[in-house]
Amino acid sequence: MRVEVLSITGDTVRFLVEGIDVSLANALRRTIISEVPSMTIDDIFIFDNSSVIPDEVLAQRIGFVPLKTDLDSYVLPEDCECNSDLGCSLCRVVLTLDVEAETDIRTVYSGDFVSEDPQIVPASPKIPLTKLALEQAVRLEAYARLGLGKVHAKWQPVSEAVYQHLAEVEIDEKRCTACGMCVEACPRGVLSLEGGKLKVVDIYACILCGECVEVCPVDPAAVTQDMKGDTFLFTVESTGCLPPERIVTEACRVLVAKLDEFSDKIKRGETDEEIVDFVVGEQEARRLYSVGAGDFEKEEEG
């Protein structure tokens, strides 16, 4: 297997993996989306919300605000020894929001949150949460925790995690007349005429659209397109919670740990155990204003 990082720009990393098949490429993609922890607000206690947005909608919006995550200082609540409902300083961060429109109409932004840990703050301070008319206010306390995208989409660390097969463009130099029609037709600037010769200048940009083959006046076309079956071009864009390259390395770590566990099970002969009992868990009632997805106390009736 060969891995080559093509670019890291802002929140996006592009890299090439050569020598794997689709199942491994897809396993990596799914691990990036659903198994890399990130921090998000999970419980909210609203003391005052006179804004136009109802409490539960506001809580939903706040839950999806990406927070900068510190994976080295915090642990997942289920791995923490405190076993506390609201968590401890190792497994949660408290953020408060206390905004009142005193002199004029104002918008409440994610940047208005005050965090107890200056490292754990919204990835962008400019996400609008609600709007306040004069004398309206929002006051709340929010508990952020690490979580996994497979539990709730708000914990997905990426806004994009995709792969594509790497393209192969071949030019039959003997038959190519260097007319330049394919260079014009290509929407991604893959081909170029250099010194009267057709050349592939950016193969990573190719999306295998087939335009170059279609416009070629030579019959059969002097340009052919194919895809490399064992080479994948990944594009991963972070929500801002973690650097994109960290998300990929964490995903690889998780995937390797899972494969190790699977390999151990094979060695112990535990792969052919029959599933004898399959119980579907009952849906727990959600605690009021919670934007989480976990086990909560049932709401009092009446």
Q: Whose Cβ is closer to Zn ion: residue 77's or residue 240's? A: 77
Task: Determine if 82 is a binding residue for Zn ion (CB under 5 A).
Answer: yes
Task: Determine if 207 is a binding residue for Zn ion (CB under 5 A).
Answer: no
In the complex, minimum distance from the CB of residue 38 to Zn ion, in angstroms, rounded to a whole number? 17
DSSP 231: E
Picking from 230, 198, 228, 229, the residue whose alpha carbon sits closest to that of residue 215 is 198
Give the number of other Cβ atoms within 10 Å of residue 120's Cβ.
21
Task: Determine if 91 is a binding residue for Zn ion (CB under 5 A).
Answer: yes
Task: Determine if 86 is a binding residue for Zn ion (CB under 5 A).
Answer: no
| Number of residues this chain uses to bind Zn ion (CB under 5 A) | 6
Q: Which stretch binds Zn ion (CB under 5 A): 13-21, 76-84, 172-180, 207-215?
A: 76-84
Task: Determine if 39 is a binding residue for Zn ion (CB under 5 A).
Answer: no
Q: Which stretch binds Zn ion (CB under 5 A): 75-83, 97-105, 172-180, 258-266?
A: 75-83
Task: Determine if 121 is a binding residue for Zn ion (CB under 5 A).
Answer: no
Between CA 169 and CA 221 the distance in angstroms is: 12
Q: Whose Cβ is closer to Zn ion: residue 57's or residue 88's? A: 88
Task: Determine if 80 is a binding residue for Zn ion (CB under 5 A).
Answer: yes
For tokens 């009446």, name the residue: 302
In the complex, minimum distance from the CB of residue 41 to Zn ion, in angstroms, rounded to a whole number? 16
Q: Whose Cβ is closer to Zn ion: residue 82's or residue 176's? A: 82
Q: Whose Cβ is closer to Zn ion: residue 82's or residue 205's? A: 82
Task: Determine if 88 is a binding residue for Zn ion (CB under 5 A).
Answer: yes
Between CA 182 and CA 176 the distance in angstroms is: 11
Q: Whose Cβ is closer to Zn ion: residue 87's or residue 292's? A: 87
In the complex, minimum distance from the CB of residue 81 to Zn ion, in angstroms, rounded to a whole number? 7
Q: Which helix (H) or strand (E) holds 184?
A: helix 181-185
Between CA 164 and CA 167 the distance in angstroms is: 9
Q: Whose Cβ is closer to Zn ion: residue 146's or residue 221's? A: 146
Give the number of other Cβ atoms within 10 Å of residue 223's Cβ.
27
Between CA 242 and CA 39 the distance in angstroms is: 10
Helix, strand, coil percent values for the chain (each to nearest 5): 25, 30, 45
Contacts (CB under 5 A) with Zn ion, residues 9-28: none
Q: Whose Cβ is closer to Zn ion: residue 75's or residue 205's? A: 75
Q: Which stretch binds Zn ion (CB under 5 A): 24-32, 77-85, 100-108, 186-194?
A: 77-85
Between CA 264 and CA 252 the distance in angstroms is: 18
Are 235 and 5 contacting, i.e. CB atoms less than 8 angstroms apart? no
Q: Environment class of residue 174 by beta-carbon count within 10 Å: exposed (0-12), middle (13-18) or buried (19+)?
A: exposed
In the complex, minimum distance from the CB of residue 75 to Zn ion, in angstroms, rounded to a whole number? 7
Residue 58's φ and ψ, nearest 5 degrees, are: -60, -45
Which residues of this protein are in contact with Zn ion, per CB under 5 A? 80, 82, 87-88, 90-91
